[in-house]
C-alpha cells in the first residue's frame, strides 16, 4: 500500500504520496500540491527539494557515503581509472575489456581540435580566465558537430569521448597559448591521464618523463570529481538541458556554474587562502577568529559542505594521495604544513564541530594539483574535466526520461501592488 503524508490546511485535508528510494531515502511528492490547494512550497537554495529521480550517484551526508552506480568511490579510487569510471557513469555498468579498449581508442581519436577552433583563442583578452574560455569553446563545439541521438549508445559514447578528449586538449591549449608555447597533441600510446601530462609538460627543447605516481594521483583526482549528485553545476546542466538544447550548450552552462568560488573554484580559493596565511607569517589563529566572527565575511575555504555533515569521504582519499605524492617527491610544501596545522586546530574547535565544518575534497586537492605542476588558474578547469562524464550521464538520464519536463520553478512575489503608470511630468 502506497505510503502517504497528510497535509492539513484549515478544514481541508489532502494526501500526498511518499516516494522511497532504493537506499531508503524518502520524499513527499508534491506535484499535485498547487492543483489541489493553490499553494506552492518555498525552499530557497533548494536544500530540501528533489528535482529528479536518478540511478547515477548516491550520497549520504550524515554517514559520509558516496557511490557511483552503487560502487563506493573508495573502491573506484583504489582500483579503477578515470576512463573506466567515466564509462560506468554514462553506461551504467563497468566496461568489459573489449568495451574499455574501444572507448580508450575513441578518446584518442577524438582528441584533435578543428583548426578553425584554434582561431578563437586569439580573440580572447590576455587576462581571460581559463574557465570563461573553456565554457565558450565547449559551446562553440556545437557548430562543428551534429545533434546527438540520445537513444544511440554508440553515439553517446562518441560524444562523451569527444567532450572528455577535446576539453582536455583545449584546457592545455589555452594555457600553452597564454604562455606563447608550442601546443602538442596527445600520443596514441599514452593513456588519458598520461597524455594530459605529456601535453602540459611538452617542450621542443626539453624532454620530461611522466611520473607513474602523477598518473595515479590524477586518476584519483578525476574519479573523485566525476559526479556528485545534484550540485550547482549538475543542476544547471539538467535545467538548461530540460529546454532540449544541445548537449554542448548544457555542458557550457555547467562549466559556467562550476566557476564560482563556492563550488568548483573552491580548490583555487583554498590555495589562495593558504598563501595569505603564509604571507602573514603562517599565523593561523587570526584567520580562525575571523572565520568565527559572524560579522566578518571571511570564511575558511575547503571546510564544510552543503550535504556532508561529517568528514567528506573524498577528502580522506585525496589527503592520503597528497601525503603519498609529496613523500615520493621528497619535497616539502609549506602550504601543506599550514593545511595540516589548520585542520588540526579546526578539528579540536567546538565551534567548527558544532557547525559540521570538516575538511572537504577541495582542501587537499589544490595541494595535489600544485605538486603535479598544474597552474593555479587551471585548478577549476581540472575539476571541469573530471566532472564531464557526470554531466553527460545526468543530461542523458533526463533526456531518456519519458516524463521529461521543462524546469520551471515558481516564486512568491513580494514587490509593489498594482499601480498606475505616471507620466514624466508627475514623477
Which DSSP string do the residues of 211-280 spell out, in sequence order? PHHHHHHHHHHHHHTS--SS-HHHHHHHHHHTTT--HHHHHHHHHHHHTSTTTTTHHHHHHHHHHHHHHT
Q: Which three cell numbers stand for residue 323?
A: 601525503
- What CATH number is associated with residue 292? 1.10.230.10
Residues 232 and 281 in one domain: no
Instruction: Spell out the residues 6+ positions from residue 383 whose beta carbon is closer than 8 angstroms to its own.
Output: 225, 258, 264, 267
Contacting residues for 27 by C-beta, under 8 A, at least 6 apart:
18, 19, 21, 50
Residue 151: predicted pLDDT:
65
| Number of domains, the chain | 3
Residue 362 a catalytic site member: yes
Strand pairing partners for 28?
Answer: 18
Domain presence at residue 35: yes
Per-residue pLDDT of the chain (427 residues; tens, 9 = 90+): 789 999 999 889 999 999 999 999 999 999 999 999 999 999 998 989 999 999 999 999 889 999 999 999 999 999 999 999 999 999 999 999 999 999 998 888 888 888 888 778 778 887 788 888 899 999 988 888 876 666 667 777 888 888 889 999 888 887 887 777 777 888 888 999 999 999 988 887 788 889 999 999 999 999 999 999 999 999 999 999 999 888 899 999 999 999 988 788 888 889 999 999 999 998 999 999 999 988 888 888 888 887 888 888 999 999 999 889 888 887 777 887 898 889 889 888 999 888 888 888 888 898 899 889 898 888 999 999 999 999 999 999 998 888 888 999 999 999 999 999 999 999 9
Q: Is 244 found in the same domain as 135?
A: yes
Residue 148's pLDDT is what? 62
Note whether 128 and 56 are same-domain residues: no
Q: Is residue 242 assigned to a domain?
A: yes
Beta carbons of 426 and 270 less than 8 angstroms apart: no
| Angle formed at CA 93 by CA 212 and CA 91, multiple of 5 degrees | 95
Is residue 344 domain-resident? yes
Closest CA to 390 of 258, 215, 200, 213: 258
Residue 153 sits in the same domain as residue 23: no
Identified catalytic residue from 362, 398, 400, 425: 362
In-domain check, residue 399 = no
Are residues 190 and 198 in contact, defined by beta-carbon separation less than 8 angstroms? yes
Residues 38 and 92 occupy one common structural domain = no
Domain of residue 359, residue span: 266-371
Q: In whole angstroms, what is the distance from residue 72 CA to residue 107 CA? A: 25
96 assigned to some structural domain: yes
CB neighbours of residue 48 within 10 Å: 10
Q: What is the predicted pLDDT for the residue at 175?
A: 80
Same domain (yes/no): 85, 229: yes
44 and 172 inside one domain: no
Final residue before a domain boundary, out of 242, 258, 274:
258
Query: Nearest CA to 257 among 393, 134, 120, 87?
Result: 134
Q: Are 372 and 194 in contact (CB under 8 A)?
A: no
322-333: pLDDT as tens digits: 889 888 887 777
Catalytic residue among 227, 305, 312, 398: 305
Residue 278 belongs to some domain of the structure: yes
Q: What is the CATH number of the domain that holds 55?
A: 2.20.28
> What is this structure's pTM?
0.91
Whether 18 and 86 map to the same domain: the answer is no
Q: Among 371, 389, 418, where does a domain finish?
A: 371
> 12-20 and 65-68: which strand pairing?
unpaired
Asked if the structure places residue 318 within a domain, the reply is yes
Same domain, 49 and 193: no
Same domain? 177 vs 52: no
Residue 99 shares a structural domain with residue 237:
yes
Q: Is 323 one of the annotated active-site residues of the chain?
A: no
Q: Establish if 120 belongs to a structural domain.
A: yes
Assess whether 250 and 279 both reside in one domain. Answer: no
So what's the pLDDT on residue 253?
96
Q: What is the largest CA-CA distance in the chain?
A: 82
Amino acid at each position: 500500500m502506497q505510503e502517504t503524508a497528510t497535509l492539513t490546511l484549515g478544514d481541508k485535508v489532502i494526501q500526498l504520496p511518499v516516494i522511497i528510494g532504493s537506499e531508503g531515502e524518502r520524499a513527499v511528492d508534491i506535484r499535485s500540491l498547487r492543483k489541489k490547494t493553490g499553494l506552492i512550497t518555498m525552499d530557497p537554495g533548494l536544500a530540501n527539494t528533489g528535482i529528479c529521480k536518478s540511478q547515477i550517484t548516491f550520497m549520504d551526508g550524515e554517514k559520509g557515503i558516496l557511490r557511483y552506480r552503487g560502487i563506493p568511490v573508495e573502491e573506484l579510487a583504489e582500483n579503477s581509472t578515470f576512463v573506466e569510471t567515466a564509462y560506468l557513469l554514462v553506461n551504467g555498468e563497468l566496461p568489459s575489456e573489449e568495451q574499455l579498449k574501444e572507448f580508450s581508442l575513441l578518446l584518442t581519436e577524438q582528441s584533435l581540435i578543428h583548426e578553425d577552433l584554434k582561431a578563437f583563442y586569439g580573440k580572447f583578452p590576455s587576462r581571460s580566465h581559463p574557465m570563461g574560455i573553456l565554457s565558450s569553446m565547449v559551446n562553440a563545439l556545437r557548430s562543428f558537430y551534429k545533434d546527438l541521438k540520445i537513444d544511440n549508445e554508440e553515439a553517446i559514447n562518441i560524444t562523451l569521448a569527444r567532450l572528455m578528449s577535446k576539453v582536455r586538449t583545449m584546457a592545455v591549449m589555452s594555457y600553452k597559448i597564454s604562455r606563447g608555447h608550442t601546443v602538442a597533441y596527445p600520443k596514441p600510446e599514452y593513456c588519458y591521464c598520461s597524455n594530459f601530462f605529456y601535453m602540459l609538460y611538452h617542450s621542443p627543447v626539453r624532454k620530461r618523463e611522466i611520473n607513474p605516481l602523477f598518473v595515479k594521483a590524477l586518476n584519483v583526482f578525476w574519479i573523485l570529481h566525476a559526479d556528485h549528485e545534484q550540485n550547482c553545476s549538475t543542476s544547471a546542466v539538467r535545467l538548461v538541458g530540460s529546454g532540449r538544447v544541445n548537449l554542448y550548450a548544457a555542458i557550457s552552462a555547467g562549466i559556467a556554474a562550476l566557476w564560482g568560488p563556492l563550488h568548483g573554484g573552491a580548490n583555487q580559493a583554498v590555495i589562495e587562502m593558504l598563501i595569505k596565511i603564509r604571507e602573514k607569517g603562517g599565523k593561523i589563529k587570526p584567520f580562525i577568529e575571523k572565520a568565527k566572527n559572524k560579522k566578518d565575511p571571511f570564511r575558511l575555504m575547503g571546510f564544510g559542505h552543503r550535504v556532508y555533515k561529517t568528514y567528506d569521504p573524498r577528502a580522506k582519499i585525496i589527503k592520503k594521495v597528497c601525503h603519498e605524492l609529496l613523500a615520493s617527491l621528497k619535497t616539502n610544501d609549506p602550504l601543506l604544513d599550514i593545511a595540516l596545522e589548520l585542520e588540526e586546530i579546526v578539528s579540536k574547535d567546538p565551534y567548527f564541530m558544532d557547525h559540521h565544518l570538516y575538511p572537504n575534497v577541495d582542501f587537499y586537492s589544490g595541494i595535489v594539483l600544485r605538486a603535479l605542476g598544474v597552474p593555479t588558474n587551471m585548478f577549476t578547469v581540472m575539476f571541469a574535466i573530471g566532472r564531464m562524464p557526470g554531466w553527460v550521464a545526468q543530461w542523458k538520464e533526463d533526456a531518456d526520461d519519458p516524463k521529461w519536463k521543462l524546469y520551471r520553478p515558481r516564486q512568491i512575489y513580494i514587490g509593489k501592488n498594482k499601480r498606475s503608470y505616471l507620466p514624466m511630468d508627475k514623477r
